[in-house]
Amino acid sequence: MALQTKTSEPIDHVTYRVTQLPFKDSRRLFTRLARIFGPSIATLAEGAKSVDDLPLAAMVTKAVENLSDRDLDEVSDILAQVTQFSRDGQKWPPLLFLGDPRSPVDNRDELFGGSLTSFFRWLWFALEVQFGDFSKALGSRPASVRASEGQTGPDTRG
């Protein structure tokens, strides 16, 4: 199966295009995320009948307890290397290009320097591109996440 590229809606007037990681890289990223977030989610999921029963605030709080700056930097670096961005729909430079170790190109300061919200929206989007099929297999996004996006009722994203 070919790697999928998905274009997001603009995040603060910038459109991001993320390509799925190759299988081994994706599996390694999943393993890292599972080590970080798995214990917290497992604790919160005890007794829950579905993903909808999981409280978002508690999930985030528990997950952050296990997240280090190094983890966030490394996950961000991995996903930034498979992300392009555009302000005009014409030019699509990489978010992070490490091809030439003497002069890496990192556009994250320019794009996210004044907005952690933009950074985390991009990060969430990039993770959805990588693991969207996996999250669909687990079920819908929690009701609290849908509510924060203004969606009521069942999860309608496909």
* pLDDT digits 0-9 by tens, 80-129: 999 999 999 899 999 999 887 787 899 999 999 988 999 999 999 999 99
Amino acid sitting at position 157: R
At 50, is the pLDDT very low, low, confident or very high (cuts 50, 70, 90)?
Answer: low
pTM over 0.85: no
Span 6-21, pLDDT tens digits: 778 789 999 999 999 9
Token pair 């390694």: residue: 28
Q: What is the largest CA-CA distance in the chain?
A: 52
Between the alpha carbon of residue 70 and those of residues 40, 54, 77, the distances in Å are: 19, 27, 10
Amino acid sitting at position 18: V
Between the alpha carbon of residue 49 and those of residues 10, 97, 158, the distances in Å are: 34, 43, 21
More confidently predicted of 128 and 42: 128
Between the alpha carbon of residue 82 and those of residues 6, 62, 76, 79, the distances in Å are: 11, 28, 10, 5
Question: What pLDDT is attached to residue 35?
Answer: 85
